[in-house]
Amino acid sequence: MTEPSPPLRRDAERNRQMLLRTAYELMATDGLTVTYEEIARAAGTGLGTVYRRFPQRQDLLDALFSAHIEAVVGFAEEAARQDDALAALARFLERQLELEAGNRGLGELLRGQKQSSTLVRDASERMTPLITGLVARAVRAGQLPAGVTPGDFAAAHVMVGSVMDASRTVAPQLWRRALAIALAGLQHADLPGVAPDETVIDHFYQDRTR
The span from the CA of 50 to the CA of 183, in Å, is 42
| Domains in the chain: boundaries | 8-55, 65-205
Rounded Cα distance between 200 and 202, Å, is: 5
- 142 contacts: CB under 8 Å, gap ≥ 6: none
CA 153 – CA 130 distance, rounded (Å): 13
Type of residue numbered 105: G
Give the architecture-level CATH label for domain 8-55.
Orthogonal Bundle (1.10)
The CATH label, of 1.10.357, 3.30.465, 2.40.70, 3.30.460, for the domain at 65-205 is 1.10.357
pLDDT per residue, tens digit, the chain (210 aa), is: 445 555 557 777 888 889 999 999 999 889 888 999 999 999 999 999 999 999 998 889 888 888 888 898 999 999 999 999 999 999 999 999 999 999 888 888 877 756 666 777 777 888 889 999 999 999 999 999 999 999 899 899 999 999 999 999 899 999 999 999 999 999 998 888 887 777 766 666 655 444
What is the distance, to the nearest Å, from the Cα of residue 185 to the centroid of all Cα atoms in its chain?
22
Q: Which residues contact 34 (CB under 8 A, 6 or more apart)?
A: 23, 26, 27, 105
Residue 95 burial (CB count, 10 A): 16
CA 60/CA 110 separation, integer angstroms: 14
- What is the structure's pLDDT at 68? 84
Inter-residue contact 49 to 15 (CB < 8 Å): yes
